[in-house]
Structure 1
C-alpha cells in the first residue's frame, strides 16, 4: 500500500486561503506535464507529420551518395531561422513513389476519426479545466523549485512584479514598445560589421526581422518566505535571439574549461568520491550568489568575456574578439520586455531566458573566482567547484576568512553561505563528511512535491514505463551507500504508486536497478548515431495505427534492388506530445481582465502559427453589411 503523502504540496495557492474547488485541485494535482486524452486525433496535424516524413525520405534518396556529415553551410547559415521547404520531385525512384502512394492510400482507408472511448479526465474535471483556463484572476505557474503547481492571485502577482521592476538600478521604464527600434539597431550594427569585414555576408542571418517584444514573468519561490518571484524574460523571438544563440555557441566550450566547472550531478558525485581531506576536523560549505543574473554589471561581464576569449585565442572562429564583444554588448543592452501592459528595459546584468545568459554568468563567476583566489593569501579550500551560481567547497582549515573575503570582493555580488562539519545540500545531493572522505545521498527540498508524470497522462506507454527505472538509476548514481540506496528506492517507489503507476511496472524497475552497481551507474552511456529516417507523430491511440501502416509498407523499399541499399534500416517511429496542462493554463503574458473586449483577437503566444494570419477586428464584414460583435460571449480568439 502506498504511504500517505501530503497532497497539499502538489497545489499551492498564493495567498494560502485562496479558494479552489475540489475539481480544480484535482486537475492541478495531476501536474502541468499531464496531457488530457483527446477524443479524436488531429487529422490535419497527423497528415502534415506524414508529409514531413515523405519529404525526409525523398531528401535521403536524393542525397544518399553524399557525405551527410559534411556541410557547406557556415555557422551563420546554420543559425538561419527560415528553414527550407524544398522537396525533390517524384520520379527518381519508382519504389519510393509507390511506397508513399501506398501509405497515403492505406491511411485514407483508416477510420482516422474514430472516437476514443476512454478518457483520462472526468466530465467535472474537464469543466474545471475550462474554468481555470478562462479565469482572468488567476496566474498559474510551476513553482521555481519542487515541481508544485502554484495558483497566484493576479493582483498579488502584479504587485510582486511591479515591486521588482521598480528597481531603477536594474530596470528602466519605457514609454512604448521598443521592438521596431531594437530591430533597426540590430540591422544597422550587423550590416556595419559586414561592411567593415568584421563579419561575413552570411552573418545577415543574425538579424531577426520578425522579432517581437519579449514578455517578463515570474516563477514563484515557494521555498522562500513571502514567496518572491524569480524573474524570467521569455525572449524566444526577441530582436537579438539569434545573436544570443551565436554568442552562446562560442562561450559554452570556454565555460567547460573553467577549473571550477561542474557539468551535472553525475560529475559532482564522481568528484566528491575522489576527494579526501588532508586532516580530520574538516568543513564543507556551500555558497549561493543572490540574484546573480541581474546583479552582473554589464561592463564587468564584458571584461570577463574578453579575458577568456583572449585566453582561448587559438580557437578557430569566424570573427574577432572585438566583434564577439560588440555582439554580446548588443544583446545585453537591448533587452526589453512587456509586463502588464507596460514596457521596460533591463539595464544591469543579463536576463534569465536569454540563450547566452548561463554561459555569460558562468564566465563572469569564473573570472571573479580567479581574481579572488589569486589575491587571497591564506589557506585556500582544498575543493571548490561551482554549478552556475551554486558553489561547493571543502577545507581542512578555517572557512570564515575566505568566505568573508569573497563576500566583500565585488560590490555588486552578494553570497549567502552555509558551513557544516557534518552535512550540506548541493544541487540534488546531500553531501556528508565521513572521517577524511565525503559520502553522498539524494536531497529533496521541503517543498518538493515529487510530481513525476501522472500515469494516466496521454503519453506513449513506453515513455511511462521507462520513468521509474530512470529515476531509480538516478538514485543509484547519487547514493554512495547501498543501505541508503535501498531505503531511498523504497521511498521513491511510494512516490510512483501515488502517481498511479502499476505495481508490476515499479517492481520490475526495482528488480532491474538492484542488478546495477553504483560504479556501473556512473559510467556515461554512449548513444549510437543512427541514420534512420524518423516519422514524428503527435501521440494518440490512432497514431499507432498510422505508424503500423508506415512500417507494414516498408517492404516495398526493401524489395527494390535500387532502394534497398538507401533504406536499409526501418524508420524510427517517434512521438511528440500533445498539448499538456501547462500549454493550456500557463502563459508568459497576463490574461486580460477586461470582459468587455470583443471581436477577433490574437492569442500572442510566441509559437502560434495562426496569429500572423489574424486580422484583429470587432466586426464581421458580410457581402452587404458590417455586423459588429457586441458581446464577449461570441469572441473569436486565434489560438
Structure 2
C-alpha cells in the first residue's frame, strides 16, 4: 500500500467528489490510479478457458474459409455475415471442422500448463477493494468517468438518477414505453427482417443475425464537469446497444454506409489526416484570413430520423456507381436496413422502458456514418468561395476563410453561414489561433500554418499506471508512441522539446522508470516529422486517393487494393492477461501452433500452413469493471 501511495501522492487530483461525504484516503488512492488500472488478481482459469475455446473457434473458421477457397476469391458477404452472427450471438454454432483441427483434450492440457506456470498473487489490494465496496454501499454512491476526460466522479445515486430522469422525461426526445409495446416492436422487427431475408442474401439466412437474447439499450450519462452547474452537472446521454435486437442489422448497415462516407470530401478521419491537409494548404501571404471552429450542438439528438434516412438514400443514389460496397444492395433494401437500424430505439433505466423518438442513439453501430452523411447533405451552406479550407470531424468543424474582400462584418457573415432549420451551432473565430481536436492551429505573419498539441483545461487524462496488471510490452511502448504523436503534431521543434519534457513528467508521475522513458526519448531523436506524417493506414490512403491524390504523390504512394489472402494471414487468440502466469502469451501461442500442426487431414493441412496464430490480451480486472459491479 505504501508503494502505491508513493506512486500516487504526486499525481494531480483527478477525483471529483460531488457528494458531501469525505473520501477516505485509501479510496482516494485507489481512484487516483485511474479506472483503467488493472488489479493484480488471482488468475481466473474459467475466463481463460472460455478465451481459448473462442480462439479455437476463430482458428477453425479461418481454416474452414480458406478450405473453401475464400483466400483467393473470397465471398465478402459470407465472411461479413459470419462475423456479425458471431458478434451478436457469442454462442454461435461451432465450426464444423473444429474437431478435425483440435483434439478434445487441448483446452484441458493448455490450462494445466498455465496453472503450473502461475505464481501466488498479491492480495494486498483485495482489502482496499473491499473498503471501496463498503464505502460505495454504505453511502449509496455511484462512480462514473466524467465527460471529456475530466476525471472520476463520485455521486449520490439519487442525484445521478435525478439527472438521468430529467433527460428521459424530455418528451421532445423520449417517451415512456411499456413491456408489451417493446414485445410487439421486437415481433414487428423480426417480421421485417424475415421479409428482407427473402430478397437480400436468401441463402445466408439474415434473420439469424438477430440475437438469441436481446434487451433494450442500457442508458447512462457521463457528467459534464467542464460545463457550469449549480448543484449537479448535466450528463452526456449514452445508449449502450451491445445487446439490442437490431445490433446485427446496424452493423450490416454500417458496412454499406462506411464506403459511402469516403465520398464526403470535407470529412476529417483523424488528427494525422488533418495535419496532412493543413500541411498541404498554401495561403497567400498578401491576403487576410480568419480561423473558425464550430460545433453542432447535440448533433445526435437533433438529427430527425426521417431526414437521416432521406439523406443517406440520396447519398447512396449519387455515389452507388463509384463505390466499392461489400455486397450489392438496392435502394429499397437500403431503406429497409435504415428502418431496422434506426426505428427501434428502445432503452431501459432502472427497470423503466423508454423510446427515443428523436435523433440517433449514441452507441448505435451505424450512428457515426449516418450522422456524417446526413451532415454532409445538410451543410451545403458551407460551400462558399471565400472558404479556402473546410474540414469536419463528425460534429466539429474547422474553416479557414479569406476575409480580405469582406464588405459586411464577420459576425454577420457567421450568422448567415451557420443558419439552419434544425441544427444549431456554437462557433469561435480568430485571426491568430484556434483549438481543434487535439491541436492548436495558428497563422504566422506569412500566413503559414503552425500546429502544436492542445489539451482541454478540464482534461485530467492520465496514462495507465506502470504497476497496473497490463502486458509490460504495452506499458513500455507508451512513452515512445506518445512521443511520436508530439513530434508529428508540433510543427515547431522548440515546441516539440517543451511538450516532450511535459510528457516525461506525466510518465514519471505514473510510476514509469526513468531509464525506460529515456530509452524511448533516445529512439525519438531519429524520427523526423515528415516520416511520421506519411500516410500509412489503408482507410486514409483510400480517402486521399479520392480527394487529395496530390498528398499521396508527395510521398510516392499508390492506392492498391488489398487482397483477401493478406487480410486472412493472421488470427488473434485473445486471452485475459495475468502477470501471475509467466510467459503466458508464448505458452498459448506455442500450444496452438503445435496443435494445428498435428492435424491429420492432408486437405486441411494445406490451409493451415498459411495460418499465422498470434496472441493478444484483454483486461478483465480493471477498476472500471469492479466499480460497475459495485454500482449494480
- The alignment's TM-score, normalised by the length of structure 1, stands at 0.81
Residues 547 and 477 from structure 1, CA distance in 2 versus in 1: closer, same or farther, beyond 3 angstroms?
A: closer
Shift of 1:402: 4.1
Shift of 1:478: 0.7
Residues 124 and 482 from structure 1, CA distance in 2 versus in 1: closer, same or farther, beyond 3 angstroms?
A: same
CA RMSD of aligned residues (A): 3.3
Matches for 1:11-26 after TM superposition, within 5 Å: 11-15=15-19, 17-26=20-29
Q: Identify which of 110, 116, 120 aligns with 1:116.
A: 120
Match of 1:637 in 2: none
Q: State the alpha-carbon separation in 1 of the partners of residues 84 and 373 from structure 2.
A: 23
Match of 2:390 in 1: 384
Q: State the alpha-carbon separation in 2 of the partners of residues 389 and 159 from structure 1.
A: 28
Residues 323 and 25 from structure 1, CA distance in 2 versus in 1: closer, same or farther, beyond 3 angstroms?
A: same
Q: Does 1:162 align with 2:165?
A: yes
Residues 57 and 228 from structure 1, CA distance in 2 versus in 1: closer, same or farther, beyond 3 angstroms?
A: closer
Contact 1:551 1:570 in 2 (8 A): no
Secondary structure at the counterpart of residue 382 of structure 1: strand
Match of 2:578 in 1: 540
Secondary structure at the counterpart of residue 161 of structure 2: helix
Residues 470 and 391 from structure 1, CA distance in 2 versus in 1: closer, same or farther, beyond 3 angstroms?
A: same
Match of 1:610 in 2: none
Q: Does 1:579 align with 2:589?
A: no
Secondary structure at the counterpart of residue 431 of structure 1: strand
Residues 270 and 536 from structure 1, CA distance in 2 versus in 1: closer, same or farther, beyond 3 angstroms?
A: same
Contact 2:371 2:394 in 1 (8 A): yes
Secondary structure at the counterpart of residue 327 of structure 1: helix
Stretches of structure 1 that go unaligned for 5 or more consecutive residues are 592-639
Shift of 1:208: 3.6
Shift of 1:395: 1.3
Q: Does 1:409 align with 2:415?
A: no
Contact 1:14 1:153 in 2 (8 A): yes
Q: State the alpha-carbon separation in 2 of the partners of residues 18 and 390 from structure 1.
A: 38
Q: Does 1:84 align with 2:87?
A: no
Q: Identify which of 517, 526, 535 aligns with 1:524.
A: 535
Contact 1:24 1:125 in 2 (8 A): yes
Residues 107 and 32 from structure 1, CA distance in 2 versus in 1: closer, same or farther, beyond 3 angstroms?
A: closer
Q: State the alpha-carbon separation in 2 of the partners of residues 577 and 264 from structure 1.
A: 26
Secondary structure at the counterpart of residue 27 of structure 1: helix
Secondary structure at the counterpart of residue 323 of structure 1: helix
Match of 1:616 in 2: none
Q: State the alpha-carbon separation in 1 of the partners of residues 27 and 49 from structure 2.
A: 35
Out of 318-327 and 540-549, give the one that drifted further. Answer: 540-549
Shift of 1:461: 0.7
Secondary structure at the counterpart of residue 337 of structure 1: strand
Contact 2:175 2:357 in 1 (8 A): yes
Out of 272-281 and 491-500, give the one that drifted further. Answer: 272-281
Q: Identify which of 111, 128, 132 aligns with 1:129.
A: 132
Q: Does 1:42 align with 2:44?
A: yes
Shift of 1:450: 2.6
Residues 178 and 29 from structure 1, CA distance in 2 versus in 1: closer, same or farther, beyond 3 angstroms?
A: farther
Give CA deviations for 1:404-427 in whole Å, capped at 9, x if unaligned.
Answer: 1233222x2110000111111101
Match of 2:247 in 1: 241
Matches for 1:142-541 after TM superposition, within 5 Å: 142-146=145-149, 148-176=151-179, 178-194=181-197, 197=199, 200=202, 202-226=205-229, 227-278=233-284, 279-314=286-321, 315=323, 317-370=327-380, 372-373=381-382, 379-397=385-403, 398=406, 399-410=410-421, 412-435=422-445, 436-525=447-536, 531-532=569-570, 534-541=572-579
Structure that is richer in helix per residue: 2
Contact 1:41 1:113 in 2 (8 A): no
Contact 1:450 1:495 in 2 (8 A): no
Q: State the alpha-carbon separation in 1 of the partners of residues 574 and 155 from structure 2.
A: 36
Give CA deviations for 1:220-254 in whole Å, capped at 9, x if unaligned.
Answer: 11111122110011111112211211111111112
Give CA deviations for 1:55-81 in whole Å, capped at 9, x if unaligned.
Answer: 566666777655343444545455323
Shift of 1:166: 2.5
Give CA deviations for 1:592-639 in whole Å, capped at 9, x if unaligned.
Answer: xxxxxxxxxxxxxxxxxxxxxxxxxxxxxxxxxxxxxxxxxxxxxxxx
Shift of 1:262: 0.4
Q: State the alpha-carbon separation in 2 of the partners of residues 105 and 415 from structure 1.
A: 60
Q: State the alpha-carbon separation in 1 of the partners of residues 280 and 451 from structure 2.
A: 12
Secondary structure at the counterpart of residue 468 of structure 2: coil
Q: State the alpha-carbon separation in 2 of the partners of residues 116 and 147 from structure 1.
A: 36
Out of 50-59 and 516-525, give the one that drifted further. Answer: 50-59
Q: State the alpha-carbon separation in 1 of the partners of residues 201 and 54 from structure 2.
A: 34
Give CA deviations for 1:8-66 in whole Å, capped at 9, x if unaligned.
Answer: 2x111225x4421111111111111111111x312223334344445566666777655
Out of 538-547 and 213-222, give the one that drifted further. Answer: 538-547
Shift of 1:117: 4.4
Contact 1:199 1:318 in 2 (8 A): no
Secondary structure at the counterpart of residue 219 of structure 2: strand
Contact 2:217 2:240 in 1 (8 A): yes
Q: State the alpha-carbon separation in 1 of the partners of residues 279 and 63 from structure 2.
A: 50
Q: Does 1:32 align with 2:35?
A: yes
Residues 177 and 65 from structure 1, CA distance in 2 versus in 1: closer, same or farther, beyond 3 angstroms?
A: closer
Q: State the alpha-carbon separation in 2 of the partners of residues 103 and 191 from structure 1.
A: 38
Contact 2:63 2:607 in 1 (8 A): no
Q: How many residues align?
A: 575
Stretches of structure 2 that go unaligned for 5 or more consecutive residues are 1-5, 539-565
Residues 168 and 239 from structure 1, CA distance in 2 versus in 1: closer, same or farther, beyond 3 angstroms?
A: same
Q: State the alpha-carbon separation in 2 of the partners of residues 559 and 300 from structure 1.
A: 57
Contact 2:136 2:142 in 1 (8 A): no
Secondary structure at the counterpart of residue 237 of structure 1: coil
Shift of 1:169: 1.3
Higher relative contact order (CA 8 A, sep 6+): 2
Q: State the alpha-carbon separation in 1 of the partners of residues 146 and 579 from structure 2.
A: 32
Residues 193 and 29 from structure 1, CA distance in 2 versus in 1: closer, same or farther, beyond 3 angstroms?
A: same
Secondary structure at the counterpart of residue 149 of structure 2: coil
Secondary structure at the counterpart of residue 392 of structure 1: strand
Residues 326 and 123 from structure 1, CA distance in 2 versus in 1: closer, same or farther, beyond 3 angstroms?
A: closer
Contact 1:216 1:231 in 2 (8 A): yes
Give CA deviations for 1:468-522 in whole Å, capped at 9, x if unaligned.
Answer: 1111111111111111011001001101111111111111111111210111111
Contact 1:382 1:394 in 2 (8 A): yes
Give CA deviations for 1:160-188 in whole Å, capped at 9, x if unaligned.
Answer: 22222222211112244643222111112
Contact 2:576 2:617 in 1 (8 A): yes
